[in-house]
Chains A and B, each alone.
Chain A
Amino acid sequence: MSKYLVLAASVVILLSFVMQYGIEQRNHYNLVSFETTVNSTREEAKQAGAFTTDIIARMKEKIAEQFDVDESEIIVNVSAAKKYRTNEFDEREVIEYEVGIPLDKLIASNKLWGVSDEDNKTIHYVRGVVPSEALEE
């Protein structure tokens, strides 16, 4: 009987590794897709001189579709003022951005390892600057 009990416990522990493989691949795929979306969007922002309302709305829609999250959960902090391309480099004329999405499950069978649901989630941010390509009219 004790042999079967050890076997049952072993199966639970070993299965969590298998589930972790799936979660890690899902999170990784999501992160690559998310960063690609943000980096593609910043190219649009370069042309426009800022993350305009339209650009942000399109980006949020795309991320929400990819991640199956609500658009309100996506954190977007960007330069609101339009920046312009100048003949000399000017730090004030770069577009700053910070976009974050929630990752709600990092470890499989977290309670088995003593990790609470609160500690098992995080927000992944992409931050940076891009130069503006918009010309002043």
Chain B
Amino acid sequence: MKVLIMTCAISLLFSIFTLFQYDCNQLQLWEERIKWEADNAADAAALYYELEEFSEGTKVFDKSEGNEAVAYVLKDNLDPDGDGAIRNEVLGDKFEYYVYYFDGNGTMTAYKGTTKICESAFEFPYSFTEDLTGYTQTIAEATVIVTIDAGAFNYRLSFIDDPDCIRTSGFDYHSYN
């Protein structure tokens, strides 16, 4: 009887351990995926710029086209059902993203999704710190930075705090003289 009780207790402990291991792995996998997608979205947004300003030697991003491209790649890669929730079993319903455009004319424009939330002037080189993640980058060229906030990761063990699943990535073009 003693052996049986011990086996049941150890099995329960191992089950908890197995669940924790699986969830930790899923968190790591999703953080990697979100990082790749932030990178991909920043790249997509940086592809579109105003041709007139570019002909004068200044890169000013076309925010309208950039935002459309970001929304499309993120929707297709993370939210194909279009219900505002990332395709997954382990993350919550939250899915927000921020796009920061640093134009060559010294204007920074920030968007939450496709809604403009801020516009300000800056000077190159500029040290940018993303408030949500603490990501810091020195802006020396026209740059696009994307942050994806996928909300809290749901650990199935209720006594573990749910960490935030949020990643930032930037994309810039280096000019060569």
Q: Bin chain B's interface residue count.
A: 20 to 34
User: Which residues 18-33 of A have a CB within 8 angstroms of B?
Assistant: 20-21, 24-25, 28, 31-32
Does B138 have its Cβ within 8 Å of any Cβ on chain A?
Answer: no
Interface string of A51-74 (1 = CB under 8 A from B): 000000000000000000000000
Cβ contacts A to B, 24 pairs, < 8 Å? A6-B3, A6-B4, A13-B7, A14-B7, A24-B18, A24-B22, A32-B32, A35-B29, A35-B32, A39-B36, A42-B40, A46-B43, A85-B47, A87-B48, A87-B62, A88-B65, A89-B69, A94-B72, A94-B76, A128-B76, A129-B76, A130-B44, A130-B73, A131-B44
Does B94 have its Cβ within 8 Å of any Cβ on chain A?
Answer: no
Known: A35-B33, A129-B76. A17 touches B47 (CB 8 A): no
Does A137 have its Cβ within 8 Å of any Cβ on chain B?
Answer: no
Interface string of B56-77 (1 = CB under 8 A from A): 0000001001101100110011
Contacting residues, chain A, for B11 (C-beta < 8 A): 13-14, 17
Does A136 have its Cβ within 8 Å of any Cβ on chain B?
Answer: no
Contacting residues, chain A, for B14 (C-beta < 8 A): 14, 17
Closest chain A residue to B70, Cβ basis: A89
Contacting residues, chain A, for B55 (C-beta < 8 A): none
Contacting residues, chain A, for B65 (C-beta < 8 A): 87-89
Known: A10-B3, A17-B18, A46-B43. A89 touches B68 (CB 8 A): yes
A80 to chain B, nearest CB (A): 18
Contacting residues, chain A, for B133 (C-beta < 8 A): none
Complex contact B3–A24 (CB within 8 A): no
Complex contact A14–B10 (CB within 8 A): yes
Complex contact A130–B29 (CB within 8 A): no
Does B137 have its Cβ within 8 Å of any Cβ on chain A?
Answer: no
Closest chain A residue to B7, Cβ basis: A10
Does A122 have its Cβ within 8 Å of any Cβ on chain B?
Answer: no
Complex contact A28–B7 (CB within 8 A): no
Contacting residues, chain B, for A24 (C-beta < 8 A): 18, 21-22, 25
Does A123 have its Cβ within 8 Å of any Cβ on chain B?
Answer: no
How long is the Cα–Cα vector from A99 to B69 in the complex, in angstroms? 22
Contacting residues, chain A, for B33 (C-beta < 8 A): 35
**Contacts A21-B21, A94-B76 supplied; 18 other A-B pairs, CB < 8 Å:** A6-B4, A14-B7, A20-B18, A24-B21, A24-B22, A25-B21, A28-B29, A32-B29, A46-B43, A87-B48, A87-B51, A89-B68, A89-B69, A89-B72, A94-B72, A130-B40, A130-B43, A131-B47
Contacting residues, chain B, for A85 (C-beta < 8 A): 47
How long is the Cα–Cα vector from A7 to B2 in the complex, in angstroms? 10
Contacting residues, chain B, for A3 (C-beta < 8 A): 3
Contacting residues, chain A, for B68 (C-beta < 8 A): 89
Contacting residues, chain B, for A25 (C-beta < 8 A): 21, 25
Complex contact B73–A94 (CB within 8 A): yes
Complex contact A32–B47 (CB within 8 A): no
